[in-house]
A and B are shown apart, each in its own frame.
Chain A
Amino acid sequence: MTTESLLQQAESLLATMSRGSTRPETNRLDVVIESSGLVPAVSALKNARWGYLTALTGLDLGVEAGVVEALYHFCSDAAVTTLRVRLPRIGGSVPSIYQLIPAVGFYERELAEMYGVTVTGMPDDSRLFLPDDWPVGVYPLLKDFDPQSAQPVKVPPPPRGSSTGERFIIPIGPQHPALKEPGHFEFTVDGEIVTAARMRLGYVHRGIEKAVEQRNWIQSLYLLERVCGICSHTHSVAYCLGVEQLAQVEVPPRAQAIRELIAGLERIHSHLLWLGVAAHEAGFDTLFMYSWRDRETVMDLLETVSGNRVNYSANILGGVKIDITAEFAEAIRRGIDYLEERSRHYLDIVTTDTMFLQRTRGIGAMTREQAEHFGVLGPLARASGILRDVRVEAPYGAYTRFPISAVTAQAGDLEARFVVRLKELFVTCNAIRTILDNLPPGELAVKVPRRIPAGETISRVEAPRGELFYFIRSTGGDKPDRVKVRTPSLCNWTSVLHQAIGCQLADVPLLLAGMDPCFSCNDR
């Protein structure tokens, strides 16, 4: 179906609940609904299998307007339908749609703690990102938030879990060798079997979404690049695409191609990094060492091209600031050839090594239905047979010119996740070669005004871990009014915590690693 017909279908589905609808962009439909109409509206979309809920954005329209909006974004291919629920700034309330879409649990908790919106019927209303000592009734993303009001309050120490009785809780994190980043998990075990799983995020929550509102459009680019050190380029691409859309500028094709090229290299580095970490979690350190040794090849390439190994700063608003010379292209070709050969070897190992397969085959298997139910994204979804890849569903930037084929597998277990990610390396290598062979000539960047015209836009980009979602709103000033970042890891937690129940404790680290979690992405 075309984007247009998808949007028409959504509009007719939502006709009874709608209190007015607009088409802010060609691929978007905004439908204003009452909060009482939310559950019927979501059910209508869900029953018609119209896309999936990709994000929930809170939006404060300011003290004068006195309105906070909750935006429920649904995506189907390139079409985005947004349900806008308008609420009073103080005492607003929406019903929870957790029963319909379990993945919304985290989004609703975020909305509640950041905007003070009451979500009725939430199964878990504990803190998600804000610290334990955060005062009640202070909501950081409201426009009139005063940092002085957020002085730490005394909290009673959390009840210490005891090992008496049947409940024996294994805490993992925030400092734990399995996690290179801090998050806190509590697994209740019975012997070696996990019977319950809980998670506490927020150890890396820095408040980037708020900080962006205090920095100008260009400074925000560098801040957002540091949401995550592993997929930094993807974050800046998502932000640039959105801002360029708002500013109505056309990025030169060469810049678009270079963006895709760097994104490809970044995907290779991220997947090899993941392969090593996952192997380490499984206790296969030799594979960890080998994959990280080979990862240095792509790190060298990134350094050659951009001058930095991790935060490449390749993007500027309106284009890129680095060029791919013939010399660089040759280096990249050589590196890619080597990596492709090595990846073949690793694919061979993870699909044939019996000892390793004992730890991956059939473990954490997720059927297609379950994956859809939990709203998983990225390689996790593709390993369960769902073709969910923004580069294919809604090609952006250079992906229209250099299309990519999505890799899927059917089994949905850990082995399938290894296979999908490794096979993606081949696809990525081929895409990089195609780009190098057909690199369009021309300018690297166009000028973007310092003040971005007022408007709202959504940009979706496929990060190595899945769909990265940005909602950007400008009021015409030199600073963004709102930048909402929804990272793929946040969507995938629900499914993994669910799968952990019934697993062996020894499988849990690998299961967590299997989704390639990124806490700094999550927490922002």
Chain B
Amino acid sequence: MTFTDFSPLLTILFFPGGLFLMGVGLLYEWLDHKLVARLQNRIGPRWFQPFADVVKLLAKEEIVPAIVNPYLFVGLPLVGLAGALTAALYVPLMGLPPAFNFPGDLIVTLYLLSLLTLSLGLAGWNTSSRFSLIGATRALTQLFAYEAPFLLALLGPALVARSWQVSEIVSRNAGQWLIVTQPIGFVVALIGLMGKLELPPFDAPEAETEIVAGALTEYSGRGLALFHLGKAVELVVGLTLVAALYLGGIGNPLEFALKTLGLLIIMAGFQSVLTRLRIDQTVGLWWRYGALLVLLQWVIWIVWKGLSL
């Protein structure tokens, strides 16, 4: 008996999806900013900062540039956010069993998560401001760079559990900290997540000093707020996924909080000590090291499995 049986609509709109998830997402975003600020010797924003930002943006004028396709301009942020929210339904948020599941939902989740980046890319292309165009190109280039290694890294645990279903992987690997047996996969997954979220050092698609705000340069008000929310949701979903697959699953809300926050602290550390990579360096890093290392991990695991049989 899960919460879902009660009312699917409620699940999607309020808990654990929808509003609740956005709230948690913004809170995590604040934590991330706060941690980075503390590491940079600053005090950092107040806890309600992301909430105020989003409310303010929603209440602001939205300027739709004259040369864009207005439907795409308005619709893409919605698609991105919807993708991130839907992805949340397949992961064990707060230690609750996923709201929905079916065999192979791991792959679907990952692609739903990519939807945000895709709509970001399309939004940038649609805006046809020069900064947006370059930002979009970079966002999509980066997508192709981290997507495969990230996927491979998350398939490691799936391989162990012999299932493509998130809930199944979690229950079969319960209590098994795969971070110990597959450390490379874990590192690639975590760094892949940072790439997905375009956090420093992978923030070339929105490198302020080169291309202003990348694909989002022309967005104001509502569109910007929705992309912002989408990022926040993706942060939580991504952290949950990595924690569930690599840190021995998530059984209850406390475990959820501890494990995801632990990951967030590591990510904040990376963000503050690393220099932004150029897009060519990012791509090089992922394909030259990320993908190969994960494959190596697989080979080691398969050989070890074969020997122990």
Contacts and interface: CB of A to CB of B under 8 A. Distances in A.
Interface of A: 163, 168-171, 176-178, 192, 279-286, 289-290, 293, 353, 355-356, 358-359, 504-509
A195 B40 CA distance: 37
20 contacts: A163-B130, A170-B134, A177-B209, A282-B275, A283-B204, A285-B40, A285-B200, A285-B272, A286-B272, A289-B41, A289-B42, A355-B201, A355-B274, A355-B275, A356-B275, A505-B134, A505-B210, A506-B204, A506-B210, A506-B278
Interface string B259-281: 00000000000001111111111
Nearest to A358: B281
A509 B40 contact: no
Interface in B256-302: 272-281
A353 B134 contact: no
Given A282-B275, A353-B275, A358-B281, A506 B207 contact: yes
Nearest to A170: B130
Contact of B278 (A170, A178, A284, A507): A507
Contacts of A176: 212
A356 B276 CA distance: 8
B203 interface: yes
A80 B277 CA distance: 46
Contacts of A282: 275-276
Contacts of B224: none
B37 to A, nearest CB: 9
A281 B130 contact: no
A317 to B, nearest CB: 41
Interface string B106-134: 00000000000000000000001011011
Contacts of B280: 192, 504
Q: Which 10 A-B pairs have the closest CB atoms?
A: A283-B276, A178-B209, A289-B40, A284-B275, A506-B278, A509-B209, A355-B275, A286-B272, A356-B275, A177-B208
Interface string B191-216: 00000000011011001111110000
A297 to B, nearest CB: 13
B151 interface: no
B39 interface: yes
Contacts, number: 75
A281 B272 CA distance: 15
B40 A281 contact: no
Contacts of A356: 275
Given A192-B279, A290-B41, A359-B278, A169 B130 contact: yes
Contact of A286 (B39, B209, B277, B278): B39
A290 B40 contact: yes
Q: How large is the interface on B (under 10, 10 to 19, 20 to 34, 35 or more residues)?
A: 20 to 34
A387 B104 CA distance: 67
Contacts of A509: 209-210
Interface string B160-182: 00000000000000000000000
A284 B207 CA distance: 11
Contacts of A192: 278-280
A220 to B, nearest CB: 36
Contacts of B210: 178, 505-506, 508-509
A358 B275 contact: yes
B266 to A, nearest CB: 16
A283 B203 contact: yes
Contacts of A285: 40, 200, 272
A507 B275 CA distance: 13
A289 B193 CA distance: 25
A228 B116 CA distance: 45
Contacts of A283: 200-201, 203-204, 207, 209, 275-276
A496 to B, nearest CB: 16
Nearest to A284: B275
Contacts of B201: 283, 355
A285 B210 CA distance: 14
A177 B134 CA distance: 16
Contacts of B204: 283, 506
Given A283-B209, A284-B275, A171 B130 contact: yes
Given A285-B40, A286-B39, A506-B204, A177 B275 contact: no
Nearest to A504: B278
Interface in B211-242: 211-212
A505 B278 CA distance: 9
A282 B41 CA distance: 19
Nearest to A290: B41
A279 B275 CA distance: 8
Nearest to B138: A192
A168 B200 contact: no
Given A283-B209, A505-B210, A509-B210, A163 B133 contact: yes
Contacts of A508: 210
B130 A284 contact: no
A507 B211 CA distance: 12
A186 to B, nearest CB: 11
A285 B208 CA distance: 11
Question: Which of A280, A353, A355 is packed against the most chain B CB atoms within 10 Å?
Answer: A355
B140 to A, nearest CB: 13
A280 B208 CA distance: 9
A118 to B, nearest CB: 37
A515 to B, nearest CB: 15
A281 B200 CA distance: 13
Contacts of B272: 285-286
A463 B235 CA distance: 47
A142 to B, nearest CB: 40
A280 B275 contact: no
A331 B279 CA distance: 46
Given A283-B201, A284-B274, A358-B277, 20 more contacts: A163-B128, A163-B133, A171-B130, A177-B208, A177-B212, A192-B279, A280-B209, A281-B209, A283-B200, A283-B207, A283-B209, A283-B275, A284-B275, A285-B200, A289-B40, A290-B41, A355-B275, A504-B278, A506-B210, A509-B209
A168 B134 CA distance: 10
A109 B281 CA distance: 40
Nearest to B37: A289
A170 to B, nearest CB: 6
